[in-house]
Amino acid sequence: MGKLWKMVLVAGARPNFMKVAPLIRELRCHPDLFEPRLVHTGQHYDTEMSEIFFDELGLPQPDRFLGVGSGSHAEQTARIMVEFEKVCVEDRPDLVVVVGDVNSTMACAITAKKLGIAVAHVEAGLRSRDWTMPEEINRVVTDAVADLLFTTSRDADENLLKEGVAAERIHFVGNVMIDCLLALLPRAEGRGTFERFGVEPGGYATLTLHRPSNVDDPEVLEGIVEVLMEVSRGLPIVWPVHPRARKSLEAFRLAERVERCPGIRLAQPLGYLDMLALSRNARLILTDSGGLQEEATVLRVPCITLRNNTERPVTVECGCNRLAGNDPSRIRAAVLAALDSSGSSIGTPELWDGRAAERIVDVLKAFEPGDARTAEK
């Protein structure tokens, strides 16, 4: 890039903040080339789902806060688009950078591209091929409009190539979320987060649950909770509860049963450092999150994913992750198998080395917003 390019980075929901932080830090090392601005859509708004990450990750205060809040998918997506369009029209950025696969990612990518602004997608090309997942729709739509597609794994490149994305727009750079993890791990290591829950390092499991497919249906959630109460008799489980899961536990009258279970330690959603400390010292991670599957892999903690598929197959190939769906007998079997395994045989995916943001910025240095796709020949 030859002049000072105005860039807008979008963050909206919890899993976005740790991806945007390393990028902003790296872009700010080149003040003669880039003028990065941060837009927070407000998709997540609770202190423990948003603000705490700004402090811990050293993120600058957002230049714009759109305050869109919760709603149905259409309502939330539409509100983000309306508010983000105003930002784009007023600020006229040269490039909009979106990360991950949440509604804010897709809404801002579409809005920018329709205004003729170039779009970069960080964490492009991941595919679960599960169209019941809202994130799969967000991923496919975002990648379809993006001009620059930054990928975390080779399988993502292949997915994009199969969908007809031109090879020169795809850049395999590694994983910015792992940049964040590796940078903050030393600070997290000193925290005895596990002590707060009365468990020993290597002597507990960490659990997170928030996917609609697991928490929105009473029978499914009850099945998961019952098998986990059983598991917790042998291995205590620390469960920081996502607001969506908390609502369901209360609505389906499961909250009291879980609270009374001695092996399950419930917590509010944790900040980044506490969550990292808790994951690092766990014997096992049980999750339906995408990011945690990746973090478990780098931390070499065996992971059980409470889904039938994953858009992050590299975590399975590295020997960390097992897919167990939400059927209690499969979960029970996966726990037994994982407890039989050890973290030492888990491999680290290619380029998950803490330098992904650096590679992205190298690509951006060579990119001209005029290279954005216009009319194809």
Nearest-CA neighbor of 23 among 148, 128, 136? 148
244/257 with CB nearer ligand UD1: 244
210/322 with CB nearer ligand UD1: 210
232/315 with CB nearer ligand UD1: 315
Nearest-CA neighbor of 271 among 58, 37, 24? 58
**What are the phi and psi torsion angles at 79 (to 5°)?**
-60, -40
98/334 with CB nearer ligand UD1: 98
Q: How many Cα atoms within 13 Å fall on the side-chain side of residue 170? A: 23
| Least distance in angstroms from the C-beta of 330 to ligand UD1 | 22
DSSP string, 40-66: E--SS-SGGGTHHHHHHHTPPPPSEE-
Strand segments, DSSP code E, in 209-346 are 237-240, 264-267, 284-287, 303-305, 321-323
101/123 with CB nearer ligand UD1: 101
Q: Is 210 a catalytic residue?
A: yes
CA dihedral of 41, 44, 45, 50, whole degrees rounded to 10: -100
Among 44, 171, 210, 242, the one annotated catalytic: 210
| Least distance in angstroms from the C-beta of 331 to ligand UD1 | 20
Give the H or E element holding residue 206.
Answer: strand 205-208
| Least distance in angstroms from the C-beta of 255 to ligand UD1 | 15
DSSP category for residue 265: E
| Least distance in angstroms from the C-beta of 99 to ligand UD1 | 12
Which residues here bind ligand UD1, judged by CB under 6 A? 13-15, 43-46, 49, 70, 101-103, 134-135, 210, 242-244, 289
3-state secondary structure of 135: helix
| Least distance in angstroms from the C-beta of 276 to ligand UD1 | 16
Q: Which residues are catalytic?
A: 210
